[in-house]
């Protein structure tokens, strides 16, 4: 599973995958109930309903009370533009049948004198499960081969992607061309959104908005300065993407 390959400036030590797996397998030493606010922080600033579902699914106790207000979310959401979610057409009926693809380019604030090397965040969202997967690249077309490899792996595992909803950015068409070419033979059907219908790709735009708001809330909660935020933005976004995987979804199978 591709969880994004951002390594920033060689200064951040990342745990090895086997270390993450070992940590995940370990039972917590104590299972003291958390306050809902603490759980909200730990689960990456997810909403109260989702926090409760996650805690229940993972057997974590919560203290009584409700999430009254998270200052960091309030600050993050104030900066957030709302994205209308418009769905149209026939919905996917199984995981990976249709994915939404888009990229955003990050710019540091004007006051910060460093650049973000992997400034292009590529996101795909599975329509059926709402799960999203990201990676970060210096160039806009940097995602192409990595995403082909991910989709190829999914196909080998019986989770084939059929339709790709995307906007008319040239790198998206290049991706489809390479994915369907001799090397990968992924047989994807592109569903490009026309110039006048950007809302058809709103599933992925909304996900970008969610991850960005949670990244801002984490940074705000950690009292990061603008320069620290710029150094950490890839890691924080990647963390927001992975914490979003905890959110419990119900699917009919």
Under rule CB under 5 A, residue 36 binds Zn ion: no
Q: Is the CB of residue 128 less than 8 Å from the CB of residue 94? A: yes
Strand locations in 25-97, DSSP E?
none
Residue 70 or 237: the one with the smaller Cβ distance to Zn ion is 70
Which is closer to Zn ion, CB of 45 or CB of 122?
A: 45
Q: Closest separation between CB of residue 76 and Zn ion, Å?
A: 7
Q: Which of 190, 172, 178, 191 is CA-nearest to residue 148?
A: 178
Token pair for 70: 């998270």
- Nearest approach in angstroms of CB 82 to Zn ion is 17
Tell me which stretch binds Zn ion (CB under 5 A): 56-64, 213-221, 233-241, 243-251: 213-221
| Cβ atoms of residues 121 and 143 within 8 Å | no
Between 128 and 245, CB nearer to Zn ion: 245
Residue 39 near Zn ion by CB under 5 A = no
Least distance (Å) from Zn ion to the CB of residue 53? 16
- For 100, other C-beta atoms within 10 Å of its C-beta total 25
Choices 14-22, 97-105, 106-114, 211-219; region in contact with Zn ion by CB under 5 A: 211-219
178 exposure class (CB count in 10 Å sphere: 0-12, 13-18, 19+): middle
Separation CA 52–CA 46 (nearest Å): 10
State the minimum distance, in angstroms, from the CB of residue 57 to Zn ion: 20
Quick one: which segment of 7-15, 16-24, 39-47, 197-205 binds Zn ion (CB under 5 A)? Answer: 39-47
CB of 210 to Zn ion, least distance (A): 12
Q: What's the min distance (Å) between Cβ of 78 and Zn ion?
A: 12
CA nearest to 150, candidates 127, 130, 170, 123? 123
Q: Candidates 38-46, 61-69, 110-118, 205-213 — which segment interacts with Zn ion by CB under 5 A?
A: 38-46
Please say which residue, 72 or 210, places its beta carbon nearer to Zn ion: 72
Both tokens of residue 43? 């689960």
CB burial of 139-152 (b: ≥16 within 10 Å; e: otherwise) equals ebbbbbeebbebbb
Say whether residue 45 binds Zn ion (CB under 5 A): yes
217 scored as a contact of Zn ion (CB under 5 A): yes
- Give me 44's structure tokens: 């990456």
Report the residue number, 217 or 237, with the smaller CB distance to Zn ion.
Answer: 217
**73 vs 121 by CB, closer to Zn ion:** 73
Radius of gyration of the chain (CA): 19
The residues facing 105 across adjacent strands are 120
How many residues lie near Zn ion (CB under 5 A)? Answer: 5
- Show the binding pattern over residues 64-83: x = contacts Zn ion (CB under 5 A), - = does not: ------x-xx----------
Q: Which two tokens stand for residue 187?
A: 């047989």
Residues forming the site for Zn ion (CB under 5 A):
45, 70, 72-73, 217
């Amino acid at each position: 599973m591709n969880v994004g390959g951002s390594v920033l400036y060689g200064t951040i030590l990342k745990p090895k995958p086997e270390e993450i797996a070992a940590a995940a397998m370990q039972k917590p030493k104590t299972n003291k109930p958390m306050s809902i606010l603490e759980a909200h922080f730990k689960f990456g600033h997810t909403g109260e309903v989702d926090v409760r579902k996650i805690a229940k699914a993972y057997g974590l106790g919560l203290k009584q009370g409700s999430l009254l207000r998270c200052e960091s979310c309030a600050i993050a959401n104030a900066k957030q533009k709302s994205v209308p979610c418009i769905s149209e057409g026939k919905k996917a009926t199984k995981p990976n049948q249709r994915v939404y693809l888009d990229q955003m380019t990050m710019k540091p604030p004007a006051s910060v004198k460093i650049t973000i090397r992997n400034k292009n965040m590529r996101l795909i969202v599975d329509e059926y499960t709402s799960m999203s997967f990201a990676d970060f690249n210096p160039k806009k077309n940097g995602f192409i081969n990595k995403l082909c490899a991910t989709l190829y792996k999914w196909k080998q595992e019986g989770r084939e992607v059929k339709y790709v909803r995307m906007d008319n950015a040239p790198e998206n068409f290049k991706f489809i061309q390479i994915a369907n070419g001799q090397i990968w033979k992924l047989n994807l059907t592109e569903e490009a959104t026309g110039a006048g219908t950007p809302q058809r790709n709103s599933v992925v735009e909304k996900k970008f908005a969610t991850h960005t708001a949670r990244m801002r809330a984490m940074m705000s909660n950690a009292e990061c300065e603008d320069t620290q935020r710029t150094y950490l933005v890839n890691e924080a976004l990647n963390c927001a993407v992975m914490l979003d995987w905890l959110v419990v979804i119900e699917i009919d199978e």
